[in-house]
Amino acid sequence: MRSIKILCFGFIYLFFNGLYAQDLLDAPLPENIRTAILRPVATNQYTPIIKLGERIKLSFDDLNADNKDYFYKITHCDFNWQPTNISLTEYLDGYSEDRIRNFEISFNTLQDYTHYEVTIPNNNMVILISGNYVITVMDEDENPVFEKRFIVYEPRVTVGVTVQKSRDVTYIQEKQNVQFIIDHPNLNINNPKLEIKTMILQNDDWNTAITNLSPQYYRGTQMLYKYGKESSFWGNNEFLYFDSKEIRIGTANIHRSERGSEIYNTYLYVDKERRYKPYTYYPGINGNFVIRTLDGEDASVEADYSTVHFYLDTDGELDPNKKVYVSGAFNSWKHNYINEMTYNSDSGLYELDMEMKQGFYNYRYSVIDANGLINNHEIDGSFYQTNNLYRVIVYYHQFGSRYTRVIGMGLTNSERFQN
């Protein structure tokens, strides 16, 4: 086992700049890596955003089911997710990298795998400052395997967020407008337009984030953001879902389950496009997923994998320049060959097979055109009534500072309409 090294700042900075050139944040996971999850340790928290001092856990499965040495390191980033030019000791207390020591072989599953997990902060690594962070998992030869992003914030300001119908009458039935107020009674901000940046997330999907809105009005220690179309999102539709907690039989939205030559096959019912249908409410978890099984007590190592078969009926093939994807938090909202659907001219359906761990999954159908524009409502429609989760992140780059802090977060749900 290689020794743990404390690396100097110069090497760290050069190494990570070279690493980010590979753009691992948007790359698909390697074939042997599945179910990579980065979440707060707190119960029922799905988003990798924590308060400074709170704990966050990274976990993933290696389908090779052997005992590899995986290592991880953490990088502090700026608002645009590029490494900041500060020394390692300014944002971390402890090692620059560490081995993932907690791993276990799956138990009583057809698909063998090794489950790895690490919790931060720990005895070897403590985060000292707020900001954007990226955690990189590496193999024993220091080759990066995958990356995931997370945010650490310090509650220096209060953020009040509201959601209402779009102000634009053209989209009043389809869009939702987000407005918010930042109150900073105990923080002196000299130039808010230059020092403050914001990011609005819908269901924690980085692809549709709205950034860089400047405050429109000031009221004492409050900054008011009362934008119209600039802070409006498509309402989209409620997420679809399935629950494979019982892998041997069909459950919620699963047509049937069959034992294959190696693992089970989970066949979902055919989904029909919903853009011309009336809005129908049913509860979900805002695009997230929960690993669970009825066949064991510890889902992390006793939940099995199955090949999940998705079917989408669009009444014929779409524009051939457009691609259709199954997306959700289960794949970090990425769009790549792993979750791209293929049109089957014989069945007249878009189809996709993905190997997924047992659990409850929200998902939706996304369309990307030849210009790379993402459309989450072309298949399922968009409605102002849709239940969406909105999060406002407040960044502060004080004049003269060498890094960007995250000084507050606000959260609301579109169920709480203001009009």
| DSSP character at residue 26 | G
pLDDT-based confidence at residue 3 (cuts at 50, 70, 90): very low
CA distances to 39, 69, 290, 341, 346 from 284, rounded to whole Å, are: 18, 37, 11, 23, 33
Distance of CA 310 to the CA centre of its chain: 21
The pLDDT tens digits of the residues spanning 244-303 come to: 999 998 777 999 999 988 999 999 999 999 999 999 988 889 999 999 999 899 999 999
Could you tell me the pTM of the whole model? 0.91
- For residue 230, the one-letter residue type is E
**Range in 4-13, 234-243, 261-270, 280-289 the model is least confident about:** 4-13
Do residues 168 and 133 make contact, with C-beta atoms less than 8 angstroms apart? no
User: Measured over all CA atoms, what is the biggest interatomic distance in the chain, rounded to whole angstroms?
Assistant: 68
Asked if 9-153 and 158-235+385-413 have one fold, the answer is: yes
pLDDT-based confidence at residue 14 (cuts at 50, 70, 90): very low
Burial of 67 (0-12, 13-18, 19+ CB in 10 A): exposed
Summarize the confidence of residues 310-316 as an average pLDDT. Answer: 94
Summarize the confidence of residues 407-418 as an average pLDDT. Answer: 87
Burial of 410 (0-12, 13-18, 19+ CB in 10 A): buried
Instruction: Say which residue the tokens 């984030």 belong to.
Output: 209
The pLDDT tens digits of the residues spanning 144-153 come to: 999 999 999 9
240-375 CATH fold: Immunoglobulin-like (2.60.40)
The pLDDT tens digits of the residues spanning 154-208 come to: 999 999 999 999 989 999 999 999 999 999 999 999 999 999 999 999 999 999 9
The pLDDT score that the predictor gives to residue 418 is 59
The pLDDT score that the predictor gives to residue 16 is 40
Q: Where are the domains of the chain?
A: 9-153, 158-235+385-413, 240-375
158-235+385-413 CATH fold: Immunoglobulin-like (2.60.40)
Among 2.60.40.10, 2.40.50.140, 3.20.20.70, 3.40.50.300, name the CATH number for the domain at 9-153.
2.60.40.10
Whether residue 11 is predicted with pLDDT greater than 70 in this model: the reply is no
Would you list the DSSP string of 229-271? Answer: GGGEEE---PPEEEE-SSTTS--TTEEEEEE-SSSEEEEEPPE
Do residues 405 and 130 make contact, with C-beta atoms less than 8 angstroms apart? yes
The pLDDT score that the predictor gives to residue 15 is 40
Residue 101 to residue 359: CA distance in whole angstroms? 25
The pLDDT score that the predictor gives to residue 67 is 92
In percent, the amount of the chain with pLDDT more than 90 equals 86
